[in-house]
Amino acid sequence: MALALSRRRRNEDAPYWPGFVDAMAQLLLVITFLLSVFMIAQFLLAREISGQDSALGQLRSQIAELTELLALEKGAKADLESQILAMTDDINAEKAKNANLLAGLEAESAKGLAAGSTISGLQTSLDSERKISNEALAKVELLNQQIAAMRRQLQQLNAILDAAEERNKASDAQIADLGRRLNSALAQKVQELAKYRSEFFGRLRQILSQRSDILVVGDRFVFQAEVLFPKAKAELNPAGQAEMQKLASALKQLEQEIPPDIAWVLRVDGHTDSDPIQSYEFKSNWELSSARAITVVEFLVEQGVSPKHLVAAGFGEFQPIVFGESEDAKSENRRIELKLTER
């Protein structure tokens, strides 16, 4: 009766599914486009940032070389200034000496040619000193011009560095924005999977037998081991095969409904109680629990469920849901759990 009601409800809701599927397909195309744009933008930004880092390295190397040249030019300038000061002192001394000589010559003007010869020699010496002083001043002026040109180059380099830093900040902001968009898209995928998980478990509640040994615990569907397997065995009994056929039908329908870009699996977990295994076929409870989980997965694959949507795991007696050594506790711990989760 419940199966007939479920089919009737699906038939009544069927007209809404095509529009819903089209809307989901368009949404997934938009998300795929955004992810492609993000990957391309990230590649271009990474390449641009790499080129900027190389340019910054070259600029820093040029700045270091210019700084060394500036230091050398400053040292040369200081040496020239020292020489100029020394020459100026010499010139002043010569001027004082010449003034004294001229005073003496004026007093001794009557001595004639000898005094005139001395004055001519001193004037020649003074002209030579003036020429040397002018040459030194010309060198100082040239050095000042070179220093001013270097300062202009440094200002240009600083402007280039500032512009590169601004571009890096803009790139970082774009990367952060793309990261936020990607996280939002991933969160939406997780929400979609949660919605399908809720619908899947609701469908299982309707199609599986209403038995006390088949429970929903949180986000897991729990079968007591006795529903599916004989004691200490890993072969499905007839009742277990019937229940797994119902599960396979629900899974095949779910595979058609969940979009292919959502990575999901149904995890089949095998659990046992804490009693030591007494079977020549299995060496431990771990092997028994793993074998039972694999048996369920293989049966679902035989029923047409895609293997890429199935995972088998064995936990032995190490993940009990009820603690204690009573028979009831052991019975609850012997179980097969189904969990729909992301891959």
Per-residue pLDDT of the chain (343 residues; tens, 9 = 90+): 454 555 555 555 555 667 777 788 888 888 888 888 888 887 887 777 777 777 777 777 778 777 777 777 777 777 777 777 877 787 777 778 777 777 776 676 656 555 456 667 767 777 777 777 777 777 777 778 888 888 888 888 888 887 877 777 777 777 766 666 666 555 555 555 556 556 656 555 555 545 555 677 666 888 889 889 998 899 999 989 988 898 888 888 888 887 887 788 899 999 999 998 878 889 999 999 999 999 999 999 999 999 999 999 999 999 998 998 898 888 889 999 988 888 7
* Domains defined along the chain, listed by start: 30-188 (1.10.287), 208-342 (3.30.1330.60)
In whole angstroms, give the CA distance from residue 328 to residue 192.
Answer: 38
Distance (Å, whole) CA 280 – CA 283? 7
66/53 Cα distance (integer angstroms):
20
Amino acid 13: pLDDT:
53
How far apart CA 50 and CA 168 sit, in angstroms, is: 10
Nearest-5° angle of CA 274, CA 219, CA 215? 60
State the pLDDT at residue 210: 56
**Taking the CB of residue 227, how many other CB atoms lie within 10 A of it?**
20
pLDDT at 209: 47
Cα–Cα distance list, 307 to 112, 220, 299 (Å): 128, 20, 11
Q: Amino acid identity of 43?
A: F
Q: Is the separation of the CB atoms in 328 and 273 below 8 Å?
A: no
What single DSSP character describes residue 50?
H
- Alpha-carbon dihedral sign for residues 283, 284, 288, 294: negative
The b/e string for 25-53 (b: 16+ C-beta within 10 A; e otherwise) is eeebeebeeebeebeeeeeebeeebeebe
3-class DSSP assignment, residue 260 = coil
